[in-house]
Each structure stands twice: as structure tokens, then as C-alpha cells.
Amino acid sequence: MISRALAKLLLFITRILPASWARWLAVSLAPWVYLHPQARKGLLLNARHILGEDSSQEEREILAKNVLRSFGRALADLGLGGRLRHLADSSEIEVEGRENIEPFLNNDQGLISVSLHMGSYEVACMLLSERRGEVAVVYHRDPTGFFEEFRSQRRGDFPITEIAIDKSPYFGVELLERLKSGGTVLMAGELAAGTRGEAFEFLGGEANFSQWPTRLSHNANVPILPSFIVRTPSGGFKIFIEEPMFPKDFNSPREMMQELVKVFEVYVQRYPDQWLMVRPFWPQSS
């Protein structure tokens, strides 16, 4: 496949080239994935939902290719790994909503950080681990094993533990234990793929989201902190930290998830080209 071969190439060059060169090449080469029919179909279907039915084919194609450029930048960050450590203490990182995380930085309360695969998810993992200590990142395993192996190596540079939800039916027990003992869990909002999860209204259609974040929140009685990291025009990063969501304020995990999905909508609409979603996200559109 063009997409996988190109991804391997991008990850390889980030290991041997200076950071600025690696990012430039990644952004330049990533749009070639658009040649792959399946990737192109998913990107255009997603663009239709994000931009609306009144959007033109040209507008959808522009968004699709910009998403691939963002994906290239994210792959470069993954390849750079430990060379990005200086970002954790960088004064150049903008933070909006810092007051929402400060109460959780120096206490032993469990915390669930929920984000999207947006901007640079790996940089988000790194920054959160630098602020809160060890972070358990919940993920789906890569079917081919290639990305999983490479990603695990890079995350090994930081206090990050990986927990695959499709590896053991008891992964939730481990997460609950971590949260109840004051640990931090990071989950992506698009954890459910394809037909998994439950349907929620999302950008003019129905898309599937897993309720694992909100179920964990209710069972462990810990808050959810919606957080997002995006790239700025200058090439840096900006972090948005929304107000924490407490399980006591919701009647059920589903009601809590509905509110969380509304937050996702805001950021996808605001930064559509930085949402790294290539597969068709709305099942009824595929």
C-alpha cells in the first residue's frame, strides 16, 4: 500500500535528519497518500460532514490533503521521539485553560484526560507525563505491528505506560486500579472504530464513540479533563484545557459522553485540517 510504505519512509527519515528537515519532508510527501483510493474515499467522506453538504468538491479535496499534511507532521513528531523533550519545558507553548489543570498537578486524585487524535497526539502524551508523572495511554493495537512497535519505542523515552484495550478483556480492571490510586489515564475520543461503540449525534450525522472514558469516570469517581493540542502558524503548539467534567454532575455515562462529544465537535470544526482521521468516521457514509 502506498500509505503504509510512505509512512515507513517518513518514520525512517525522522530518525536520521535534523528536525526541521524531517518535518519539511514529511509535509511534502504525506499528500501522496491521497493517491490511495481507500484513503481518499475516507478523507473526502469526512470532509463532507465537517464542511457541510453545501461544500464543493474542491473544498473537500483541499481539506483532505491538508489533513494528510498534518498527519505527516504528526509522524515526524513520533519519529523524533526524545528529541522533542525540550518542548516539555518550553515557554513557547501556549496554554489556554491552564487554571483547569492546576488543581490536579500536585494532588493524588485520579484523572482521565480525553483528547482527539489532533495536532500531535504524541506530544500531548509527552507533555501530560511531564506534568502528572506516569501516564497510562489507552490504545488499539496496530494490526500489522509496525506502528505499534515504533510508537512503543518512542513512548519509552517518557514515563508512559501503554494499555491495549483489545489485548485483554480485563484491561478495565487495571485502569480502575490506576485511577483509584491517583493515576492518570489518557484516552482518545475516537477509541471506537467502525461499528464499535454507540451512536452519537456528531457534525450532522451519527458517529460511533466508546463510552469507556465516561464509564471509567463513573466507576472510579474521577473527573474527565478534555484537552487538545494543535499546531500554531509559527510551527509551535497550543494546548486547550477545558473545564473538568465530574461524574456526579451527570445521570449516566451516556449523558456525560454526549456532553463530551459536543466538545469534540467544537475542536473538529475549529481545526478540521488537524483532526488526523483518514478512515470514514461516519459509518452510514462509508
Q: What is the pLDDT of residue 87?
A: 53
Nearest-angstrom CA–CA distance, 119 and 137: 17
Q: What is the pLDDT of residue 203?
A: 93
What is the three-class DSSP state of 40?
helix
Q: Where is average pLDDT lowest: 4-8, 172-176, 199-203?
A: 4-8
Percent of the chain surpassing pLDDT 70: 78
For residues 209-221, give the mean pLDDT: 93
What is the chain's mean pLDDT, rounded?
82
Asked if residue 194 has pLDDT above 60, the reply is no
Q: What is the pLDDT of residue 115?
A: 94
Q: What is the pLDDT of residue 41?
A: 92
Which has more confidence, 89 or 38?
38
Closest to 275 (Cα-Cα) out of 211, 231, 242, 239: 231
Nearest-angstrom CA–CA distance, 10 and 73: 10
C-alpha dihedral sign at 127, 129, 135, 140: positive
Nearest-angstrom CA–CA distance, 203 and 223: 25
For residues 63-88, one letter each, b for 16 or more C-beta atoms within 10 angstroms of the residue's C-beta and e for the rest, the string is: bbbbbbbbbbbbbbbbbbbebbeebe
For residues 165-169, give the mean pLDDT: 75
Domain boundaries, given as residue ranges, for the chain: 2-285
Q: What is the pLDDT of residue 283?
A: 80
Nearest-angstrom CA–CA distance, 42 and 38: 6
Most confident of 27-31, 72-76, 158-162, 172-176: 172-176
User: pLDDT per residue over 255-278, tens digit each?
Assistant: 999 999 999 999 999 999 999 998
Asked if 152 and 162 touch (Cβ cutoff 8 Å), the reply is yes
pLDDT category at 233 given cuts 50, 70, 90 is confident
Q: What is the pLDDT of residue 1?
A: 46
Which has more confidence, 83 or 130?
130
Q: Where is average pLDDT lowest: 94-103, 136-145, 182-191, 273-282?
A: 136-145
